[in-house]
Amino acid sequence: MQSKKILVVIPAFNEEKSILSVIGDIRKHLPNVDILVVNDGSSDRTSEKVAAAGAFVVDLPCNLGIGATMQAGYMFAERENYDIAVQCDGDGQHPPYQIKNLITPLLEGKADIAAGSRFLGNFGYRSSIPRQIGIILFSGLLTVITKTRLTDPTCGFRAINKKAIKSFSAYYPHDYPEVEALVLAHKKGLKIREVPIRIYKRKAGNSSIGFFGSFYYTVKVLLAVFVDLFKSAA
């Protein structure tokens, strides 16, 4: 089982303060995985620090946003023939010791995508009110669309297998990709399963989405999901 080639993809935008501790944590808990940091045009020393730590770095020449950043990671995973790719944030929110739980359904062949959920299990996760409304809305919508119970479709802590890597490296949504990625994956016939995870406070930096951002996020993603249902599957 452990002979599977596993890649942890860390999307990073100005995360020099926290990224080394995340990399250190991953190595401590999972000594046999490769780590790829996709640096989305950071203006700080994220890239140099990661390279000095000996992880792979893809430096995007300009800021492309989270969707394109993750896609670059999946492109690398596909070309280097990895069996599993894990998305893990570089700000310390996604604690690496939980990656093992996350990839279990993939190793057992029970799913193509293992999505972390902050609400399964009793970890008492709380978020701002506009966000909670958005999450409830999307989890209802996605549960109906995918016919699988999804409690936390906006969470970015995920692991995907080869089949899903291939699909995501060919097409991955742009701005707020998490929810849409699940809809597209479902349309491609990929099996999604949620895994309870615990989220920690960021070690550095702020969320990319503020109060008014939450509203725009909701409208935009709703429209995108609606349109995804009609999109050509190719």
Would you tell me which residues interact with other proteins (CB under 8 A)?
Answer: 38, 51, 56-62, 64, 68, 71-72, 75-76, 79, 171, 173-175, 219-220, 223-224, 227, 230-232
User: How far is C-alpha 39 from the geometric centre of its chain's CA atoms?
Assistant: 15
The least CB distance from residue 27 to other proteins, in Å, is: 19
Separation of alpha carbons 135 and 65, rounded Å: 21
Which of 6/199 has CB closer to other proteins? 6
Minimum distance of other proteins from residue 219's CB (angstroms): 6
* CA distances from residue 156 to 86, 94, 159, 171 in whole angstroms, order as listed: 10, 9, 9, 17
- CB nearer other proteins, residue 76 or residue 157: 76
> At its nearest, how many Å lie between other proteins and the CB of residue 71?
7
Residue 187 CB, shortest distance to other proteins, in Å, is 13
* Unique residue bearing structure tokens 């998490």: 178
CB of 59 to other proteins, least distance (A): 5
Sign of the C-alpha dihedral computed for residues 80, 15, 178 and 116 taken in this order = positive
Nearer to other proteins, 55 or 159 (CB): 55
Separation of alpha carbons 170 and 176, rounded Å: 17
- Separation CA 67–CA 179 (nearest Å): 11
Residue 98 DSSP symbol: G
The residue (of 41 and 130) whose beta carbon lies closer to other proteins is 41
Q: Of all helices (H) and strands (E), which one includes residue 11? A: strand 6-12
CB nearer other proteins, residue 103 or residue 184: 184
* Angle made by CA atoms 120, 127, 153, in degrees to the nearest 5: 50
Q: How far is the CB of 211 from other proteins (least distance, A)?
A: 18
Q: Shortest Cβ distance from residue 56 to other proteins (Å)?
A: 6
- Cβ distance to other proteins smaller for residue 20 or 58: 58
Nearer to other proteins (CB atom), residue 72 or residue 84: 72
C-alpha 56/C-alpha 59 separation (Å) is 10
**Run of H or E including 192:** strand 192-196
To which H or E segment does residue 160 belong?
strand 158-161
